[in-house]
Copies of this chain bind each other. A is one copy, B any other.
Amino acid sequence: MSHPRSAVVLLSGGLDSATALAMARADGYVCHALSVAYGQRHSAELDASVKVARRLGAASHRLIQVNLDLIGGSALTDHRIAVPEGQAPDPASGGNSIPVTYVPARNTLFLSLALGLAEVQGAEAIYIGVNAVDYSGYPDCRPAFIAAFENVAQLATRVGVEGGRLRIETPLIALSKAEIIRRGTALGVDFAETVSCYQADADGRACGRCDSCRLRREGFAAAGIADPTRYAAA
């Protein structure tokens, strides 16, 4: 009997990571989902991750808690900084376009935690739903960052020392939001269960006004798929 191949999948409860999990499953992996509570404004996203992990058949699901609010510096973890509403800055406009919703070193932290779990599980890949197209201008969503972290993974780990490899898989990196939605729909993701809003209410209803809501709504429109998102009454 052959040993099942396993992967760790970073799961936020949002649209992108749900699709990444569905793609990892479609790639034939036994999937260990990992969610991180890092002082987000709301827990609706984490509640969503539990539903998504169950629906998509994750073999396990862990919630790691990190009090990043002590570090601060982001509208997503510091309640004194307002989440902006309206247009996202243009990623092509240069280095000063990183928005206040950027959480310093977030993806580096997420990948570090996934790396630890991948080592313990003997996983051969880590899936992360980063996207370099509709990416809101975060530096740690770029392919060069992912390649650099893959090199760290190789050098930091037992499996690397022993000559093995651990891949960082970013199946969404070159997809538009519409393409992600089409792919996820085809693979059985129920997007009604996912929460993308930066300031969803306790019930998981989206504000409809933040960057993340705007990108998501435009994605459904472009995909020609009805938007199942539950929006809070205006």
* A binding-site residues for B, Cβ under 8 Å: 62-68, 70-73, 95-96, 98, 102-109, 111-113, 115-117, 119-120, 139-140, 142, 144-145, 148-149, 151-158, 160-163
In the complex, 6 of the A-B residue pairs with CB atoms within 8 angstroms, ordered by the A residue number, are A64-B68, A65-B65, A68-B116, A73-B116, A139-B160, A145-B156
Closest to A143 in B: B155
Residues of B within 8 A of A148 (CB): 148, 151-152, 154-156
Closest to A37 in B: B67
Q: With A and B bound together, what is the CA distance between A109 and B158 in angstroms? A: 15
How many copies of this kind of chain does the complex include? 2
Q: With A and B bound together, what is the CA distance between A16 and B35 in angstroms? A: 32
Chain A interface mostly helix, strand, loop or mixed?
A: helix
- Contact A109–B112 (Cβ < 8 Å): yes
Report which of B63, B109, B155, B163 forms a contact with A142, defined as CB distance below 8 A.
B155
Given A108-B152, A112-B105, A112-B112, does the pair A161, B71 have CB atoms closer than 8 Å?
no
- Contact A144–B139 (Cβ < 8 Å): no
- Contact A161–B112 (Cβ < 8 Å): no
Given A66-B66, A109-B113, A116-B71, does the pair A155, B162 have CB atoms closer than 8 Å?
no
